[in-house]
Amino acid sequence: MKRYRRIHNKWKKREVKFLSKYEINIEEGYDSFDIEEDEKYVELKKENFGIQKSLFNKKNYLYDSIIGVKFSKEELDASEYYALNNLGSPKGYPQPKVGYEKNTYRGVCDKCGVYKEQISPFRIKNEPKFGKNQVHFSLNWIFDETFIKKDFFQEVLAPLGLKSKDVLIHKTGKPSETVVQLDIPTAKSRLLLDESPYDTQKPCTVCGTKKYDQRNLDFIPPFANDFDFIICKTQESFGETETHQANRRVIISKEFCELLVNHKVIKYNTYNLTPFKS
């Protein structure tokens, strides 16, 4: 696993010149660069840079944060489960844009956005137009649901015992003729997220729910208890404490992953998949 960081600052001329020696090209003033958390990063952290002691220990504004990780093929191969990062490219917004949350979910927290369950079908503006070989898409603002071309669902996913939900065309209120929502069951166990790299957030001051970091920071911790599934949605929500974003992570088995890869729904790489910790 390789971990990557983003460094953002208001850089001075001599700092720009110094970083260029490490093949880091930035401009004077506010700029940023990404760097692997490796020997070069450690060396830069320790670099004695005049009275500042370290290039990354400045009194003025500095942002130094993990932005994600990359896993090797060997690490992907070794995992029995994955968090599915690719739920399809966004295609439009849930309808109505104002008020869709309270119409669609039960128990939505007005502050942090955590919801208890979906109670009504999603509504979309028009019948979706699928690209060549495209069989699924997501919606803007919705990060834990995927919408499947109806014939693909019936031919490939329904035989696995998976279920679907209607998607309504907002203007008519009638079910779409071309797309359904994949009905993803909730996991029967919680993940062991506490004291993991994902445990970075504080409980909501209104509802008391603690969300977890939505970035891919490490392997996904295992479930507390084993149970059989091919796809499920975590009990936990992910997102920053002070934002209204609260999405569950979608978890799939190795067998279901292979099916999606074989049908070219996703690619077998670290951008589409985050492996579980063995």
**Contacting residues for 12 by C-beta, under 8 A, at least 6 apart:** 28
Instruction: List, as one string, the DSSP characters of the chain.
Output: -EEEEEEEEEE-HHHHHHHHTTT----SEEEEEEEESSHHHHHHHH---GGGSSTT--SS-EEEEEEEEE--HHHHHH-SEEEE-----B-S--SSTTTHHHHHEES--TTT---SEE-S--EESS---PPTT--EEEETTEEEEEEEEHHHIIIIIGGGT-EEEEEEETTT-PEEEEEEEEE-PBPSS-B--TTSTT---PBPTTT-PBPB--S--SSBPPBSS----SEEE-SS-BS-TTSS--BPPEEEEHHHHHHHHHTTSS-SSTTTEEEBP-
Candidate from 61-75, 82-96, 146-160, 252-266 with smallest mean pLDDT? 61-75
Round to whole Å and give the CA distance between 199 and 195.
6
Candidates 249, 86, 252; CA nearest to 162 is: 252
| Mean pLDDT over the full length of the chain | 92
pLDDT at 43: 81
pLDDT tens, 207-264?
A: 999 999 999 999 999 999 999 999 999 999 999 877 888 999 999 999 999 999 999 9
Q: What six digits make up the tokens of 227? A: 């149970």
The side-by-side arrangement of strands in the sheet containing 62-70 is: 29-36, 2-11, 62-70
Per-residue b or e along 136-146, where b marks 16 or more CB atoms closer than 10 Å to that residue's CB: bbbbeebbbbb
278 pLDDT band (50/70/90 cuts)? confident
pLDDT at 47: 67
Q: What is the mean pLDDT of residues 171-185?
A: 97
Q: For residue 70, list its beta bridge partners.
A: 2
CB 267 within 8 A of CB 203: no
- What is the residue extent of each domain of the chain? 2-70, 100-183
pTM of the model: 0.89
Q: Residue 45 above 80 pLDDT? A: no
Q: Residue 1 above 90 pLDDT? A: yes
51 pLDDT band (50/70/90 cuts)? very low
Q: What angle do CA 203, 204, 210 make, to 5 degrees?
A: 40
Q: What is the mean pLDDT of residues 149-169?
A: 97
- Percentage of residues in the chain with pLDDT exceeding 70? 95
pLDDT tens, 183-218?
A: 999 999 999 999 999 999 999 999 999 999 999 999
pLDDT at 230: 98
Compute φ and ψ for 32, nearest 5 degrees.
Answer: -140, 160
| Stated length of the chain | 278
Who has greater pLDDT, 39 or 176?
Answer: 176
Compute φ and ψ for 25, nearest 5 degrees.
Answer: -105, 110
